[in-house]
Amino acid sequence: MQVVILAAGQGKRMHSDLPKVLHPLAGRPLLAHVLGTARAAGASEICVVYGHGGERVREALAQEAGVAWVKQEPQLGTGHAVQQALPLLAEDSLVLVLYGDVPLTAPDTLTRLIVAAAGSKLAILTVEMEHPFGYGRIVRDAVGRVVRIVEEKDASPAERAIREINTGIMAVPARHLRRWLGRLRNHNAQGEYYLTDIVALAVEDGVPVETAQPRHVWETLGVNSKAQLADLERIAQRETAHRLLEDGVTLLDPARFDVRGELVCGRDVEIDVNCVFEGRVELGDNVRVGAHCVLRSVKVGAGTRIEPFSLLQDSEVGTACQIGPFSRLRPGAMLAEEVHIGNFVEVKNSRIAARSKANHLSYVGDATVGSDVNIGAGTITCNYDGANKHRTVIEDNVHIGSDTQLVAPVTVGRGSTTGAGATVSKDIPPGTLMYTKAETVIRSDWKRPVKAPKK
């Protein structure tokens, strides 16, 4: 089976410089969803017909392997678009036509369509809509056979009353497709070559026209405006939430939950409201994620609690850790088991070993922290000299006093302690105490300033 994806539309109603098929749905471009569905349905080869903003489309999806790109210029309708792909289609193949702005079609729906096309038939995906305005109508004869498709602008009042509509998705043998595309004419209100006109040509040639239907109407909905995109986003998130609930994940409110990538959960995971998951996120057994958290490309070990308003990105968290509230893990943060990262603590490009803690108002950047370390409130690693980053090493069982500045490159030896307010710019030997001595001055003759009277 070969797949042709039509993705040349400009998308004027999106009111955006971004090509329509690149607008994100659940964190991925619309076209990426369609490519994934095509592969899941068993496509051997995929051809994307692109047009407006084409080079941007190709660049954005350059990582998609096994895709042939064909440019449609000018854009003269869907029939003309498929014609551009004809040189790439094998004569004996079945061709599945999809659309780059219809992202939610299920693979099993396409499988039913493919089965309906068996025996060199033309199969089209149809659906009944309560309000079918704007869609091409399926016209059947007295015994229910499909005889043609009529577009909204060309339909009579009786035809516009038909509720069964054409989704545009179809499966057709390449040898028929090649013959019919050459017979298309643009004698219609749009002056375009409609792919749907091949239905009437199939009837004329005595080729059976079969139909298949999706489980849900929303599988066939396309995106032509930001409002429609927002509607499909909520549908996609609802379906993701439903799948997670079926798998045993506890979502405290499925309607306030967003996955913009891939979320993999173990057993007994609980997720509070308004959490966002981007990229690939893995949550181990018994993980708890508090409200209003954002996790981007993160792996979280079993039994870890992430308190509200925390942001974790490109990081790995071990088992039984406690993160937050209001914590930030930046790229390269690697936490071992039972690590505590508390409120308003930021960790970047650092490894923190087992049972170490930074509970309040600290910055740990470009650091290697041993096990059983306590980092006091207000501590910062001064890792940047204005041009280069330098590393701080804190060995096992170290106690860092509050408000300590660690000026990298520096090593704090095993079992040592720094006093509150210390500035550490030299290596500290193991098992020692380091503090910064400051003179304390008390003046009895000092008076607090008062505000000058207004003139």
To the nearest whole number, what is the mean pLDDT of the chain? 94
Domain boundary residue among 203, 220, 237? 220
Catalytic pick among 216, 292, 360, 399: 360
Cβ atoms within 10 A of the Cβ of 210, count?
Answer: 17
Residue 184 falls inside a structural domain: yes
Helix (H) or strand (E) holding 112, with range, is: helix 107-116
* Owning domain of residue 22: 2-220
Q: Given this model, what pLDDT does residue 442 score?
A: 85
Q: How confident is the model at residue 41 (pLDDT cuts 50, 70, 90)?
A: very high
Q: How confident is the model at residue 151 (pLDDT cuts 50, 70, 90)?
A: confident
Residues 189 and 279 occupy one common structural domain: no
Residues 41 and 164 occupy one common structural domain: yes
Q: Given this model, what pLDDT does residue 448 score?
A: 84
Angstrom distances, CA of residue 75 to CA of 4, 11, 83, 198: 16, 13, 11, 18
Asked whether the predicted pLDDT for residue 163 surpasses 90, the reply is yes
Asked whether the predicted pLDDT for residue 66 surpasses 90, the reply is no
Rounded to whole angstroms, the Cα distance separating 55 from 264 reads: 33
| Three-point CA angle 388, 313, 36, nearest 5° | 125
Cβ atoms within 10 A of the Cβ of 280, count?
Answer: 13
Task: Give the domain CATH number at 249.
Answer: 2.160.10.10
For the chain, how many structural domains are there in total? 2
* Residue % of the chain over a pLDDT of 70: 100
Residues 201 and 287 occupy one common structural domain: no
Asked whether the predicted pLDDT for residue 53 surpasses 80, the reply is no
Rounded to whole angstroms, the Cα distance separating 202 from 213 reads: 20
Residue 215 falls inside a structural domain: yes
Residues 148 and 196 occupy one common structural domain: yes
Task: Give the domain CATH number at 101.
Answer: 3.90.550.10
- 132 cis-preceded (ω within 30 degrees of 0): no
Residues 324 and 364 occupy one common structural domain: yes
Q: How does pLDDT run across 306-330, given as a tens digit for each residue?
A: 999 999 999 999 999 999 999 999 9
Residue 179 falls inside a structural domain: yes
Rounded to whole angstroms, the Cα distance separating 2 from 280 reads: 29
Mean pLDDT of 273-298: 98
Residues 209 and 231 occupy one common structural domain: no
Residues 178 and 60 occupy one common structural domain: yes
Residue 448 falls inside a structural domain: no
Residues 63 and 118 occupy one common structural domain: yes
Q: How does pLDDT run across 341-375, given as a tens digit for each residue?
A: 999 999 999 999 999 999 999 999 999 999 999 99
* Residue % of the chain over a pLDDT of 90: 84
Burial of 157 (0-12, 13-18, 19+ CB in 10 A): exposed
Q: Given this model, what pLDDT does residue 454 score?
A: 83
Residue 454 falls inside a structural domain: no
Residue 50 falls inside a structural domain: yes
Residues 8 and 78 occupy one common structural domain: yes
Domain boundary residue among 220, 242, 275? 220
Higher model confidence: residue 385 or residue 349? 349
Residues 213 and 278 occupy one common structural domain: no
Rounded to whole angstroms, the Cα distance separating 241 from 223 reads: 22
Q: Given this model, what pLDDT does residue 453 score?
A: 87
Q: How does pLDDT run across 184-231, given as a tens digit for each residue?
A: 999 887 888 989 899 999 999 999 999 999 999 999 999 999 999 999
Rounded to whole angstroms, the Cα distance separating 225 from 135 reads: 16
Q: Given this model, what pLDDT does residue 282 score?
A: 98
Instruction: Say which range, 18-27, 48-57, 163-172, 375-384, has the weakest mean pLDDT.
Output: 48-57
Tokens of residue 357, six digits: 């803690």
Q: How confident is the model at residue 55 (pLDDT cuts 50, 70, 90)?
A: confident
Residue type, 234: R
Burial of 360 (0-12, 13-18, 19+ CB in 10 A): middle
Q: How does pLDDT run across 421-440, given as a tens digit for each residue?
A: 999 999 999 999 999 888 87
Residues 108 and 125 occupy one common structural domain: yes
Nearest CA to 276 out of 323, 235, 310 is that of: 310
**Residue matched to tokens 């009786």:** 158
Q: Given this model, what pLDDT does residue 44 score?
A: 87
Residue 423 falls inside a structural domain: yes
Q: Given this model, what pLDDT does residue 51 score?
A: 87
Mean pLDDT of 98-104: 96
Residues 205 and 246 occupy one common structural domain: no
Is there a catalytic annotation at residue 360?
A: yes
Contact 211, 138 (CB under 8 A): yes
Angstrom distances, CA of residue 271 to CA of 2, 261, 304, 306: 41, 16, 12, 10
Q: Given this model, what pLDDT does residue 123 score?
A: 97
Q: Given this model, what pLDDT does residue 440 score?
A: 79
Rounded to whole angstroms, the Cα distance separating 120 from 165 reads: 23
Q: How does pLDDT run across 120-136, given as a tens digit for each residue?
A: 999 999 999 999 998 89
Domain boundary residue among 182, 203, 220? 220
Residue 41 falls inside a structural domain: yes
